[in-house]
Amino acid sequence: MSDPVPASGTVHWIGAGLSTGSGLAAVCVAADRVRLWHRTEERAAQALDHLGLAGRAEPRAYTLPALAAELAPGDVVVSMLPAPEHAPLLALCVQGRAHFACSSYVSDAVLDQVPAAAAAGVVVLTEAGLDPGIDHLFAHSLIARAQEAIGSETAAEVSLTSYCGGVPAVPNDFKYRFSWAPAGVLNALRSPARYLDHGAETTTDRPWEATRPHVVDGETFEVYPNRDSVPFIGQYGLPAAWKPQTFVRGTLRLDGWLRAWGAVFEELKAGDDERIAALAAELATTYPTTEEDRDRVVLAVSLEVRSGTGATWSGRYLLDLEGTPEESAMARCVSRTLGLGVRHVLDGDLPAGLNRAAETAQRSEEWLGELRREGIDFALRTDG
């Protein structure tokens, strides 16, 4: 593995969709030069004006060749594009010895390029948003606190749940507010979920069919498993002596969501790709995201450890934020976390190769402290 290429001070922020917020402003302060790439130069300029960043970043019309023409070694490329577009961007970064950052999960196409990136001295920062991102920070912090209380060598049974959702601050009849593209929401629901329940691996082909009530501070929500939770047992570094009985990373929705989305689920069960794409367009039109409505982000991560001697420890992080007229809660959480990661790349704090928002408890505590100082508020409760 090579040492990371020294950061040049230039950041290329690709995309200005619903999750781009004040994190970009923080990057404009930290970087020497920022370019915002969007569908057209005019759209990029409009986005900068909307964010109050006109004159602080340069608008650009995005194409991969156009970016390649301006990319220099040590630049940082921040992708806010859909996950399938990350791999071509990373390939360009490896070729140009530029660093790469995104808030998305690590795809196989990205993972395949990590050895080449590490050899080229390229930092690859992933899972640095809200979920994934802040949820990882919470989990690492809780596990470290439990180990200190219970002991990592002590046999114990463990329950870890991590639920996150973007919902309307004022509930509507649909019990939902789109904070990312409807097509992505629907396709996520079409993907099987794997998790641990009563110590056994469980898979559900239709995640919404595993929806159950979940109470947070006296408020009832609905939650369901999302994607594949099982690899995160290793990623979170649970001690070998601890046996997870429940381990679920999932999605949180308002109470009544399952009933309100009944017609959508019927379409998901019967529809092909073409029909689902059409349905996504219909939902975008019927339930548009407007400047007037406000979103709410709820992230609840809980850990309970019960040792064979009867000793117990439990802890929970709760993040519960509402959007403002200036910025949605989702954009605040995603972009500020990603912006923090970009600043660490600029400072040379991250090694070449694959990095996630949190790899260790120590780094999690550092990032959580920084996020709190930047206005991402959350609460920690422990018992035991």
Query: What b/e sequence results for 18-36 when a residue is b if at least 16 CB atoms lie within 10 Å of its CB, and e otherwise?
Result: bbbbbbbbbbbebbeebbb
The pLDDT confidence band at residue 103, using thresholds 50, 70 and 90, is very high
Residue 181 CA to residue 85 CA, distance in Å, equals 15
| Mean pLDDT of all residues belonging to the chain | 95
Tell me, what's the pLDDT at 214? 97
Tell me, what's the pLDDT at 227? 94
Mean pLDDT of 80-87: 92
8-124 and 132-328+359-381: identical CATH topology: no
Domain segments of the chain: what residues? 8-124, 132-328+359-381
CA quadruple 226, 227, 229, 230: dihedral sign: positive
- What tens digit of pLDDT does each residue of 206-230 get? 999 999 999 999 999 999 999 999 9
The pLDDT confidence band at residue 1, using thresholds 50, 70 and 90, is low
Q: Does domain 8-124 have CATH number 3.40.630.30?
A: no
Residue 54 CA to residue 193 CA, distance in Å, equals 43
pLDDT above 90 for 308? no
Tell me, what's the pLDDT at 114? 97
Mean pLDDT of 322-326: 92
Q: How far is CA 79 from CA 11, 36, 43, 136, in A?
A: 11, 11, 17, 20
pLDDT above 80 for 279? yes
Mean pLDDT of 5-14: 98
pLDDT above 80 for 245? yes
**What's the CATH number of domain 132-328+359-381, 3.30.360.10, 3.20.20.190, 3.60.15.10, 3.30.830.10?**
3.30.360.10
Could you please report the per-residue DSSP string of 105-162?
PPPHHHHTTHHHHHHTT-EEEES-BTTTBHHHHHHHHHHHHHHHHH-TTS-EEEEEEE
The pLDDT confidence band at residue 291, using thresholds 50, 70 and 90, is confident
> CA angle 370-162-369, nearest 5°?
10
